[in-house]
Chain A
């Protein structure tokens, strides 16, 4: 498994270095998107200063970038591989499909993490805000990545079965943005507890608690975030494997 992860990371890194413009364009698009939304919101509400809420919104936006990357990686890979004609070769690997796509997603998420931090730094500089980032926050970043990969497995399974899911994924991104920037931790206990059942939300809450609210790890929702990520990852991989078996039984591999 380590070799598998290493070769996927190696591939991601080589392509990243070969095509640096993709990183730069991603950085600009994501920064301008947030800035555009912020300016628009200021204009519509007439509020120029969001105060500490803005810190939470920026962290929520960063979480959303991680989630969208995790969500899109597997279905994007499957559609791209099918069009290139390499999907069959990947299916004939020594490793199970869930292992290969887990390794790819982790490698892709690590690459995306660099982009996410760059976007956050740029946004904090542009908005003249600052947040603390204690080492313990990395744990919440990890649970965010794992939980978002679980969504990627679900979407990947759907991509295997229904082929073209790109537009549906775009539609899902906006509710996810709402979920990632909503401060559930400041709401009533019932709403907060229900929100902990939603995918990735406990990780987003924990990240805000650690970076914006300055809470200690023990006082955060890190246990809920860990459980949420583990359960969703298990469920996502289970459904993905079912779809893999289904395409093998029905001859639906390819044709994207």
Chain B
């Protein structure tokens, strides 16, 4: 474990005894760490163990074995650890609906140990930052879902936590609100906040996360930097767009050596990097307009890793 990390978990396990059945592991041997200013996407299908892990990280559920440290502090024995933690656990259901935006901010700020004066000043600043100043005295039940979600994130940020747990932050939001909240989350990194993000909206995770862990059946089956993961799963398929039609003879030469398809002046070529150069020498002198490697996306990687029979720790 590193004291520099905002979050460290080691070998977290949560098991439940079911009479007459083998012990059930909801979470099995999960270790992760999050550095300051990092967005860590924690993904998995329903029932994979994400929520159980999140609850153990936040101190709401004691692990059967293993350790959690938030900024070096144990959230189960040292309540100062909770002062480093902000949470938006289930969308907008973290707010008192009969209270106003300011009242919610003030209440949860004081509950996190802030003084009244500090909480009032922080409330003012966050309402302004999240464009909610005009809604300061509006009851939560009167806000749009997007505004409620922004307020929930503001509430979680009241006490200036170092680690923010965001559970499905864009769920149920319309496109505009989703884009706004996504941008807001990205901006938080500038403040040095680290984020543990769980979501089923994989495009959001791909757009935001620096690192990603994919969980299945209680275990992390893949953990990597987002860019590395996308590169690792990028297929060796190149799309070569030509300016003119290629002569059929050269196409046949290519077909003899590669898996290739050709139509509308566009070649789809399956080969490695060396093969690409050889293919280009065959194509020459036809004019090449563009060469593009097939891009993988998080969704296809996620499905590949979490479908039944996928190897653990791939």
Contacts and interface: CB of A to CB of B under 8 A. Distances in A.
A89 interface: yes
Interface in B105-143: 106-108, 110-113, 115-116
B79 interface: yes
A10 B108 CA distance: 13
B58 A92 contact: yes
A92 B59 contact: yes
B87 interface: yes
17 contacts: A3-B116, A7-B106, A7-B110, A10-B106, A11-B103, A11-B107, A14-B103, A18-B98, A85-B94, A86-B96, A88-B58, A89-B87, A90-B111, A93-B112, A94-B79, A94-B82, A95-B111
A253 B90 CA distance: 14
B97 A84 contact: yes
A100 interface: yes
A18 B112 CA distance: 25
B93 A92 contact: no
B85 A92 contact: yes
B60 interface: yes
Contacts of B112: 93-94
A4 interface: yes
Given A3-B116, A89-B87, A248 B99 contact: no
B162 interface: no
A44 to B, nearest CB: 42
B62 A92 contact: no
B65 to A, nearest CB: 13
B13 interface: no
Interface string A1-24: 001101100110011001100000
Closest 8 CB pairs of A and B: A85-B93, A94-B113, A7-B110, A93-B111, A249-B62, A251-B61, A248-B62, A89-B94
A252 to B, nearest CB: 9
Contact of B60 (A3, A88, A100): A88
Interface of A: 3-4, 6-7, 10-11, 14-15, 18-19, 84-86, 88-96, 100, 248-249, 251, 253
A86 B95 contact: yes
Nearest to A94: B113
A256 B106 CA distance: 27
Nearest to B52: A251
Given A84-B96, A88-B60, A89-B89, 8 more contacts: A7-B111, A15-B99, A84-B93, A90-B111, A92-B58, A92-B59, A95-B113, A249-B62
Contacts of B85: 92
Interface in B40-99: 52, 55, 58-62, 76, 79, 82-83, 85, 87, 89-90, 93-99
Contacts of B155: 89
Contacts of A248: 59-62, 76
Given A86-B93, A89-B87, A3 B110 contact: yes
Nearest to A80: B96
Contacts, number: 81
B150 interface: no
A253 B51 CA distance: 13
Q: Which of A10, A18, A89, A253 has the most CB of B within 10 A?
A: A89
Contact of A93 (B82, B89, B93, B99): B82
B14 interface: yes
Contact of A253 (B61, B82, B87, B99): B61
Nearest to B55: A251
Contacts of A19: 98
A4 B87 contact: no
A182 B82 CA distance: 48
Contacts of A7: 106-107, 110-111, 116
Contacts of B52: 251
A70 to B, nearest CB: 22
A249 B62 CA distance: 5
Contacts of B55: 251, 253
A129 B15 CA distance: 64
B26 to A, nearest CB: 8
A85 B89 contact: yes
A3 B112 CA distance: 11
A251 B106 contact: no
B181 to A, nearest CB: 18
A93 B107 CA distance: 11
A95 B80 CA distance: 10
Nearest to B98: A15
Given A3-B115, A100-B111, A251-B52, A85 B99 contact: no
Contacts of A10: 106
Contacts of B60: 88, 91-92, 248, 253
